[in-house]
Amino acid sequence: MTSLNDLYTKQGQSAWIDNLNRPSILGGGLAGLVDRGIRGVTSNPTIFEKAMTGSDAYDEQFARLIADDTVEAAFWAMAIDDVSAACDILAGVHSSSGGADGFVSLEVSPSLAGNTEGTIEAARSLHSRVDKANLMVKIPATLEGVPAVRTMISEGRNINVTLIFSLGRYAEVIEAYLSGLEILSKAGGDLSQVHSVASFFVSRVDTEVDRRLSESSADKALFGKAAVAQAKLAYALFQEKFSGARWQALADAGAHPQRPLWASTSTKNPAYPDLLYVDTLIGPSTVNTMPDATVEAFLDHGTVDRTIDQGVDEARASLEALAGAGVDMDDVSVVLERQGVASFLDSWNKLLGSLEEKAAATAGRSR
């Protein structure tokens, strides 16, 4: 047993790995992480860009694919193969948890972040092509993405709602999930087969808030407080929304709560503890998706204590103090969402550009 196993058995939090690449799949690295307590996998355009441009593990398949199709189609074929293989590796976790865990996430194209109908069609396509019970399709929590989430849940699909940066948007995501379940229930669907997580990005909040504080004469005690404080209040909102008569009616029909997922949990500021966004956010019915280095750090010196609902009043006071210092958290979330979408789109474009270059080189060698 490891501290990651204890995280789940003692505190009800699932540790997922925020990385997916073919060498880890083929070489047993991912399976080894599952043995050590990892219970899910997340991916995104940045992760795939690093995996496919930093390894020759895709070259043979890529050469075959581009002989008959476009570079973008080749990317999706390779990504779907990786995700399908990862789903198979996590199948045991999915089965032993009664279908509640062991998920692998695959994101729709970041070019669709502002396109509701395009997102819906893309999500349907990915669910159809992967066709695994433990797939979660990732949809960004943009204004256009939230209605797509509602539609996907109403169709009984597993969804990872990503790029959440504010309590207000998180409330909209929860509403999309609940109303989607209600539509599914009225249509006679099986609510017990639907699972979802709401991915609240954490460390980036401190990065932006600290930047703003550094431009003022704000109290130094406010630095590094915003992200954890907001996440703790997000968990309080989760507890509020997944209780009461409305939720109980859905739960009685077999529905599962949409678990909060803490993403972007590596520490960006070296002055902060390396597990700042892990040790402080432990609690039941949550997920923490960590990059490799953070996983190893937690295995080495993580603390398995319930902390997510500790200091909630202090968290609220921290956000009030930040407002008093002139930090507009609504504006912070707008900036971070815009940056997040742009970052993934940049990785997407770099990936396609790199694959285009590889395709050209492959064509040159074949002549």
List the catalytic residues: 138
Nearest residue to 135 via CA among 176, 86, 69: 86
Q: Which helix (H) or strand (E) holds 140?
A: strand 135-140
Give me the torsion for CA of 353, 359, 360, 366, rounded to 10°: 170
Q: CA angle, 84 as apex, 25 and 151 as ends, to 5°?
A: 135
Chain Cα centroid distance, residue 20:
13
Contact between 122 and 144 under an 8 Å Cβ cutoff? The reply is no
CA dist 202 and 211 (Å) reads: 15
Question: What secondary structure does DSSP assign to 242-301, as a single string?
Answer: TSHHHHHHHHHTT----EEEEES-S-SSTTS-TTHHHHTS--TTEEEEE-HHHHHHHHHH
CA dist 308 and 272 (Å) reads: 18
Residues found in the chain: 367
Nearest residue to 76 via CA among 113, 125, 10: 125
The first and second tokens of residue 117, run together, are 């109908």
Q: Is 78 left (phi over 0), alpha (psi -120 to 50) or beta?
A: alpha
Helix, strand or coil, per DSSP, at residue 162 = strand
Q: How many CB atoms lie within 10 A of CB 46?
A: 18
